[in-house]
Amino acid sequence: MSENQQKEYWRWKEYNWKNPEIPDWKGGLVTAGVDVGSTSSQAVICVDGQLYAYASMRTGSDSPSSALNAINWAMEGTGLTLQDINFTVGTGYGRVNVPFANKAVTEIACHARGANFMYGPSVRTLLDMGGQDCKAIHCDDKGKVTSFLMNDKCAAGTGRGMEVFANLLAVSIEDVGDMSFNVETEPDPVSSTCVVFAKTEATGLLRAGWSKEKVLAAYCSAMASRVVSLLERNGMELDFAITGGIAKNPGVVKRIEKLLGVQALTPKYDTQIAGALGGALFAKALVEKSAKVAK
């Protein structure tokens, strides 16, 4: 097998982070959100509602292990143990399989809450572009969902679709967005209703002499038009923000902005952690609610 065939171009970087502005968690209310998605898992730890640490990694075949690996990596170097976390919310595709979670909350509610924290209370329309689904969400100034629409029928418009194209074209997933702008004229989009058909179409275009950049531009454009139709069905209201892994792909984000004629808000944090962050904030609210009831 050649080196090219062995390389997995779809693999994105896994990482963890600790907030240097919060030196110690002791004495604070420690809450966690664990988002076990179809493709990636994130764990976020908040201290008194402030982002303290997080980790983002690929989801394995076993959701409970993925959740545990993510929270352990987020706690690395903090001195925290699972027993020190006051309340944990599990969210995402595998939310019911987070063994140490106190409650499961849907990723739709968690993304809205997380986006409210990340982008501010002006966010009204949110697009979450996940690994295997895509959601258009409306929320109020407190991050509470007022309407949502989800598409998980096929991989078109999802991170997995982009991974398929990165592998097909032997382009690192992190370079796809920038490369897609290296075209003289914007090509027509490829099929936006099915990744399998889009891949077949792309193979034909490569054979017809299209450059990798042009094919990527056609696919980014297809993905943008696909998710814009979701947003339009749910209704657009400003401000607009994007979460999930695809929010890091400027090739898709810029094309969505162009089609909608609006600018997405600039994220203050990693867009992939929005769901887990929302979970940690939900956890804080739930602890405070139960404390009020106890009084």
Partner 1 sequence: MIANYGYKDGSGEFYISIDTDKCTTCSEKGCLESCPGQIFEMMVDDWDDEVAAVKASERNKIKMTCAACKPTTGRPELLPCQAACKPRGITHSW
Instruction: Using CB under 8 A, list all residues that contact partner 1.
Output: 105-106, 109, 138, 144-154, 193-194, 229-230, 233-234, 282
Residues in contact with 246: Cβ distance below 8 Å, sequence separation at least 6, in sequence order: 129, 158, 159, 162, 223, 252, 253
DSSP 181: T
Taking the complex as a whole, the smallest distance from the CB of residue 101 to partner 1 amounts, in Å, to 14
Tell me whether residue 1 or residue 294 sits nearer to partner 1 (CB atom). 294
Q: Compute the least distance from the CB of residue 149 to partner 1, in Å.
A: 4
As measured in angstroms, the least distance from the Cβ of 26 to partner 1 is 31
Q: How far is the CB of 148 from partner 1 (least distance, A)?
A: 6
Nearest to 142 by CA among 117, 106, 108, 118: 117
Cβ of residue 160: shortest distance to partner 1, in angstroms?
Answer: 16
- Beta bridge mates, 33: 44, 89
Nearer to partner 1, 184 or 188 (CB): 188
Residue 79 zone, left/alpha/beta (φ > 0; ψ -120 to 50; rest)? left
Q: Please, which residue, 7 or 144, has the CB nearer to partner 1?
A: 144
- CB closer to partner 1, 144 vs 268: 144
CB 170 within 8 A of CB 9: yes
Place of tokens 């929302």: 278
List the alpha helices (DSSP H) in 138-273: 159-169, 176-179, 195-207, 212-234, 250-260
**Closer of 233 and 268 to partner 1 (Cβ):** 233
The continuous run of DSSP H or E covering 118 comes out as helix 107-119
Q: How far is the CB of 108 from partner 1 (least distance, A)?
A: 8
Write down the H helix ranges in 15-91. 63-75
Look at the alpha carbons of 199, 200, 201, 202 in this order and tell me if their dihedral is positive or negative: positive
Q: How far is the CB of 105 from partner 1 (least distance, A)?
A: 5
205: CB partners within 8 A, 6+ apart: 190, 214, 215, 218
Are 170 and 210 a contacting pair, CB within 8 Å?
no
Residue closer to partner 1, measured from CB, 152 or 174: 152
Nearer to partner 1, 154 or 183 (CB): 154
